[in-house]
Structures are given as C-alpha cells and as structure tokens.
Structure 1
Amino acid sequence: MTRDFQIRPITPAEHDALGEVSIRSYLEGGLLLKGLDDPYAPNLRDVALRAASSTVLVAADERGGEDGALLGGVTLAFHGSPMAQLAGPGEAEIRMLAVEPAAQGRGVGSALAAACVEQARADPGTKSVVLCALQDLANAHRVYTRLGFARATDLDWSPVPDVLLWGFRLDL
C-alpha cells in the first residue's frame, strides 16, 4: 500500500491540533469513559507537556502540502521521562497513539507505532519497547502483534476500577 502521509516530529505550532485529534480519536473509540469530562482528556490535549519530555511524532497528510493536516500522533517516552508509566531501565514506551477517525484504516496507526520502534532501536541504551492497550482493543492488539510485540502480563494494570490495560513488550 502506498502511503500518502509522512511520519515526522511534531512542531510546536501543531500541539493544539494533535491534542484535538487525540480527543476525537479517543472519544470515537470509546476510550474516554466519561466523555470530555474524563480525567484523561486533559492529558491527551496537553501535547506541549508531552513534547517537553518525550518524542512526539505525527502523521501528516502529504496531499495537503508541507503543512498537511494531521492524521494522527503518538508519544514515545524513554525510561526516566515523566511521561513513562511502564518503561523501566532500558525501555521506551509508546503512549497516546491516536488516529483521526476519518483517517482510520489507512495504516496511520501502524506507521506511527513502527516509527516509535525505529526511534527506540536508534537509541543504543534501549533494549525493549513497552505499551499498554485496553484488553478489548483487538484491532490495536493485531497491529502490535504484527510489529513483533508480545503480551506481557507483568505490565497489565488498571488505571481506574473496572478498566484493565494489557501490557505488550517488544525486545529489540
């Protein structure tokens, strides 16, 4: 499949736009259990905070020129970053992967996750990549499995009662 988007680092001018893409993605996916009042929503919107201590990558639509519309984004946090929830020593963590609902099915999420793996591989101290996803997100699990991730039950956790996040790990 030919990609009509590019994966690149976010620019500060795009922080607000990615925050809104993230909100729409999580809302449409049913991932914000309390809608816009969900306590996780401000974290999704605050891309500037993510970018201050992590790598934030975006997928930009090439059909829109150099400043094409954002189709999605992801945060890659290395161990020691305040954004890392799961990453231990020698690990990087994929967080807040979001794809604009209208762009889903174009391979944007897979490309963003693959770009994170490549960024982690480029860091000589990183030996594995970890992430978590809701246990019922079968499509996301398939994407991660295709990239070589395996279930890591030692990373499973519940951010709030009745919500189980499954952990995944890819050894580099």
Structure 2
Amino acid sequence: MTVGPARSADWPRIAQLTSDVYLGGGLAAPEYGEELRDVAGRADRAELLVARDDAGRVVGSVALVLAGDFGEVTESDAEAAFRMLVVDPAVQGRGLGALLVAACVERARSAGKRRVVLSTDRRMRTAQRLYARMGFARLPERDWSPRPGIDLLVYALDL
C-alpha cells in the first residue's frame, strides 16, 4: 500500500468512496452527500492524498488543509487540518487510516505547521482510538456543532 497525492482521474473514485463510507455507514445525513462528492471543490481548498493498493486502486483518501478556512477547526496559520478521512471498508483494519494520517502529519510538518487539528463525529470511536494512538489529544474547548444534533470532537497533535 502506498500514500501519495491524488490525481484528477482519482476524483470519481474518491467521491464514491467518501459518499459510501459516510452515507452508507450512517455517519452523515443525506443532505451532506453533495459536499461529500464534491472532490473538485475540496481539491481547490486542500491537498488530496490517496492510499492505493498494490494494483494501484484508490482504497483511501483524506483532504489536508494547509491554509484557509476549509479546515473549519484551525485557529491560526500555524495549524493544518485534515478532513474526510476514508478507507474502503473492504480493506479497513490494515493500517491505511494510520498511513493517511501519518502522511498528513509529515506534509504539515514540511509546510512549517506547528499543529495538526481535526474534528470527528462523536460516534466515530474507531477513528478516535486511532488518533489517540498516534498522539493526538482532545481539545474539548474547541468542540463544535455544524448543526443541531451533530457534535464534533476536536483533536490536535503538536508538531
């Protein structure tokens, strides 16, 4: 498995994978589907990274935000954020999520960032365990709700 920059040819697969994981897994409301599938929009505001299997197929993706407000939880230019981390359910449990997170951390470090932040749905317990294992700490004072009934927890890793 490898992690690297996404190509525009990967966008349809990223859109499908992100939608399938979030909507199919009950992790997002149907009205969020359009944003989940808007890979071109994400690419305008973030660096898209993908995990590929040995055959070169995209089996995971993440959007790394190094500048601007697309990160939603960044508070300064010293912070990077990542969003929409997804791994194909067929290959979950093989460390791809950790590879994608590590790639985000290394890219943020090389860009001179001092912290990586993220928000995750309270229900995403597996992701929360991954972040804790990788050294991320909770920042409860920055938790937020994009709309009533959706509570997002914020985590950060100082670089």
Task: Using structure 1 for the length normalisation, give the TM-score.
Answer: 0.87
Task: Using structure 2 for the length normalisation, give the TM-score.
Answer: 0.94
Amino acid at match of 2:32: Y
Structure 1 residue 116 displacement after superposition: 0.4
Structure 1 residue 79 displacement after superposition: 3.2
Identity of aligned residues (%): 41
Over aligned residue pairs, what C-alpha RMSD do you find? 1.2
Structure 1 residue 118 displacement after superposition: 0.7
Report the counterpart of residue 46 of structure 1 in structure 2. Answer: 38
Structure 1 residue 103 displacement after superposition: 1.4
More strand by proportion, 1 or 2?
2
Q: Which secondary structure state, in structure 1, belongs to the residue aligned with residue 4 of structure 2?
A: strand
Number of matched pairs: 158
Q: Which secondary structure state, in structure 1, belongs to the residue aligned with residue 145 of structure 2?
A: coil
Could you tell me which runs of 5 or more consecutive residues in structure 2 were left unpaired when the two chains were aligned. Answer: none
Which residue of 2, 8, 17 corresponds with 1:6?
2
Report the counterpart of residue 93 of structure 1 in structure 2. Answer: 81
Report the counterpart of residue 153 of structure 1 in structure 2. Answer: 140
1:78–1:91 CA contact under 8 A, matched in 2:
yes
2:23–2:33 CA contact under 8 A, matched in 1:
no
For residues 66-103 of structure 1, the C-alpha deviation after alignment (integer angstroms, 9 at most, x for no partner) is: xx2111100011232x4221112110011000111111
Structure 1 residue 53 displacement after superposition: 2.1
Structure 1 residue 29 displacement after superposition: 2.6
Report the counterpart of residue 114 of structure 1 in structure 2. Answer: 102
Amino acid at match of 1:113: V
2:65–2:71 CA contact under 8 A, matched in 1:
yes
The structure 1 segments of at least 4 consecutive aligned residues displaced by more than 4 Å after TM superposition are none
